[in-house]
């Protein structure tokens, strides 16, 4: 029987560096938790020169990922490269070579869930991915294990730290671009920050959570996605001052009232007193409602070196324990059924959503404009709850904010198409959905 379990890292960036730090700082604790010493035997990265603030035996380092995968002494491969390729090929090779895998790669899991999990099953290897959603928050195992008794009725996730950081800083008077630049400096943002601010990263994470919660595959194309790029500090101010609400980028997967499920990512107005409204800055919060447990909330840092490394190392310990006990690969990492069809899941088209809507019209300040907008909303049966126009001109343009009563989204969209064709409209109307929480 081996005297230690060896780990190989693919990718030594922000999170990989955090993993090596935890191994150095907490070696005794990791051995105690696992029952056997754990050791990072090899690390592959294309850039081995950068100062990472940590000393490593240079014999451990290589630029060739294959060397790490093919090392017969390594039992667990940790993929922290990110993106689809070469990460996908390397993970599949590792599984085929009889290695267990830990990954933080949300994009890869969201896009290729079936292939990754079916390969792990075929080769009787484990794959764990706690760090793929919510950084250091144990929400993946929370859903997969802790809430397994429940039919999950709703998941509402603030699961992109960068977007939440930007919205929080904008609420404190900072500009969108300087908040994004700070998120990049702090290592929260994706290599392509469009994934953060346009909702793609939240979508990837929601796909993972929803697939776990439903035990069936939810696919990226099932999800309606909108980002935060059109939200202004004025919207945040109006939401707070006029409606006692906050604007959050939410990933939502919930049972639809008329049957089926809704899976959507978009900026959302939520009540200021809701627990999710207190999730500020880079923190993430995932509010999960189960039929037996009721409402639960997972909260913590959703990005950054050490929080994300914490999740990666917890997965390594979990697999290493199984290896040590001779149980590794005998129980699949997740329970889910590859045979899913969209019909089976009945994904509700977003047009069928019934919600209240915050609408910001960007119009010329002229007599009769509000009456015309009200008329077009009325034609679609949309009732107005309140209208706000403050003298906050931007040139000749003035924002007019209308809060509607509950309406069906396809009717709101029809009305907005008509309004946006009017000559007095200077910029397309912004629409933000309002979320009411049943529990």
* Residue 383 neighbours by CB distance under 10 Å: 12
* Contact criterion met (CB below 8 Å) for 400 and 352: no
Residue range at the interface with ligand HSE (CB under 6 A); choices 44-52, 121-129, 189-197, 328-336: 189-197
> Which of 189, 218, 249, 320 contacts ligand HSE by CB under 6 A?
189
Q: How far is CA 29 from CA 15, 35, 41, 251, in A?
A: 20, 10, 18, 35
Catalytic residue among 205, 248, 254, 301, which? 205
371's tokens:
């009456």
165's tokens:
């950081």
Could you give the 3-state DSSP secondary structure of residue 403?
Answer: strand
Smaller CB separation from ligand HSE, 128 or 243: 128
Q: How far is 116 from 78, CA to CA, in rounded Å?
A: 14
> Which of 201, 219, 222, 409 contacts ligand HSE by CB under 6 A?
201
> Which of 79, 130, 190, 348 contacts ligand HSE by CB under 6 A?
190
- What's the min distance (Å) between Cβ of 437 and ligand HSE? 23
> Which of 6, 103, 162, 246 contacts ligand HSE by CB under 6 A?
162
* Contact criterion met (CB below 8 Å) for 159 and 304: no
Q: What is the CA radius of gyration of the chain?
A: 24
Residue range at the interface with ligand HSE (CB under 6 A); choices 3-11, 183-191, 261-269, 373-381: 183-191
Q: How far is 285 from 137, CA to CA, in rounded Å?
A: 9
- What's the min distance (Å) between Cβ of 303 and ligand HSE? 4
Say how many residues touch ligand HSE, by CB under 6 A: 11
**What residues from 249 to 308 belong to the interface with ligand HSE (CB under 6 A)?**
302-303
Q: Is 205 a catalytic residue?
A: yes
51's tokens:
């100062």
Could you give the 3-state DSSP secondary structure of residue 212?
Answer: helix
Smaller CB separation from ligand HSE, 91 or 167: 167
Residue range at the interface with ligand HSE (CB under 6 A); choices 68-76, 188-196, 241-249, 314-322: 188-196
Smaller CB separation from ligand HSE, 180 or 402: 180
- 392 Cβ neighbours under 8 A, 6+ residues apart: 234, 398, 399
> Which of 45, 79, 169, 196 contacts ligand HSE by CB under 6 A?
196
Which sign does the torsion angle of CA 318, 119, 139, 78 carry?
A: positive
Our finding on whether 105 is near ligand HSE (CB under 6 A) is: no
Q: Write down the residue that tokens 């917890």 correspond to.
A: 314
Smaller CB separation from ligand HSE, 6 or 160: 160
- 290 Cβ neighbours under 8 A, 6+ residues apart: 147, 149, 150, 151, 152, 153, 296
Residue range at the interface with ligand HSE (CB under 6 A); choices 147-155, 182-190, 359-367, 383-391: 182-190
Residue range at the interface with ligand HSE (CB under 6 A); choices 33-41, 58-66, 156-164, 337-345: 156-164
**What residues from 116 to 155 belong to the interface with ligand HSE (CB under 6 A)?**
135
Q: How far is 4 from 338, CA to CA, in rounded Å?
A: 35
- What's the min distance (Å) between Cβ of 249 and ligand HSE? 10
What's the half-sphere exposure (Cβ side, CA atoms, 13 Å) at 426? 15
> Which of 23, 128, 188, 243 contacts ligand HSE by CB under 6 A?
188
Smaller CB separation from ligand HSE, 165 or 318: 165
- What's the min distance (Å) between Cβ of 127 and ligand HSE? 18
Q: How far is 64 from 287, CA to CA, in rounded Å?
A: 41
Q: How far is 145 from 288, CA to CA, in rounded Å?
A: 14
- What's the min distance (Å) between Cβ of 406 and ligand HSE? 32
Which sign does the torsion angle of CA 148, 149, 154, 157 carry?
A: negative
Smaller CB separation from ligand HSE, 20 or 162: 162
Could you give the 3-state DSSP secondary structure of residue 55?
Answer: coil
- What's the min distance (Å) between Cβ of 78 and ligand HSE? 16
Our finding on whether 199 is near ligand HSE (CB under 6 A) is: no
Task: Report H helices in 325-398.
Answer: 342-345, 369-379
Our finding on whether 160 is near ligand HSE (CB under 6 A) is: yes
| Binding footprint of ligand HSE on the chain (CB under 6 A) | 135, 160-162, 188-190, 196, 201, 302-303
Catalytic residue positions?
A: 205
């Amino acid at each position: 029987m081996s005297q230690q379990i060896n780990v190989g890292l693919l990718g030594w960036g922000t999170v990989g560096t955090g993993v090596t730090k935890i191994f150095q700082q907490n070696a005794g604790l990791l051995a105690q938790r696992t029952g056997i010493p754990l050791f990072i035997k090899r690390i592959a990265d294309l850039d081995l020169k950068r100062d990472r603030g940590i000393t490593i035996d240079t014999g451990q380092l290589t630029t060739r990922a294959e060397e790490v995968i093919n090392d017969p002494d390594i039992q667990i491969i940790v993929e922290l490269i990110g993106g689809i390729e070469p990460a996908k090929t390397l993970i599949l090779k590792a599984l085929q070579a009889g290695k267990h895998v830990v990954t933080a790669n949300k994009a890869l899991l969201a896009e290729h869930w079936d292939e990754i999990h079916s390969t792990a099953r075929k080769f009787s290897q484990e794959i764990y991915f706690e760090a793929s959603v919510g950084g250091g928050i144990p929400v993946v195992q929370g859903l997969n294990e802790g809430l397994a008794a429940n039919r999950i009725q709703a998941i509402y996730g603030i699961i992109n730290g960068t977007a939440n950081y930007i919205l929080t800083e904008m609420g404190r008077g900072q500009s969108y671009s300087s908040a994004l630049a700070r998120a990049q400096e702090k290592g929260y943002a994706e290599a392509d920050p469009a994934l953060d601010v346009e909702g793609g990263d939240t979508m990837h994470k929601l796909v993972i959570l929803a697939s776990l919660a439903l035990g069936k595959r939810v696919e990226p194309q099932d999800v309606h996605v909108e980002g935060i790029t059109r939200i202004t500090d004025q919207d945040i101010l109006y939401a707070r001052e006029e409606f006692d609400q906050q604007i959050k980028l939410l990933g939502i997967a919930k049972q639809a009232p008329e049957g089926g499920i809704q899976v959507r990512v978009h900026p959302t107005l939520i009540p200021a007193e809701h627990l999710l409204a207190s999730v500020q800055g880079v923190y993430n919060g995932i509010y999960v409602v189960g039929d037996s447990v009721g409402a639960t909330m997972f909260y913590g840092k959703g990005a950054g070196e050490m929080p994300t490394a914490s999740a990666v190392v917890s997965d390594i310990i979990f697999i290493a324990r199984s290896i040590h006990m001779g149980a590794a690969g005998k129980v699949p990492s997740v329970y889910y059924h590859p045979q899913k069809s969209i019909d089976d899941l009945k994904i509700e088209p977003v047009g069928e959503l019934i919600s209240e809507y915050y609408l910001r019209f960007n119009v010329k300040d002229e007599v009769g404009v509000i009456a015309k907008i009200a008329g077009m909303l009325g034609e679609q049966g949309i009732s107005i709850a309140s209208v706000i126009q403050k003298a906050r001109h931007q040139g000749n343009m003035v924002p007019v904010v209308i809060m509607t009563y509950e309406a069906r989204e396809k009717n709101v969209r029809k009305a907005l198409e008509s309004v946006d064709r009017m000559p007095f409209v200077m910029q397309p109307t912004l629409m933000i959905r309002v979320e009411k929480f049943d529990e």
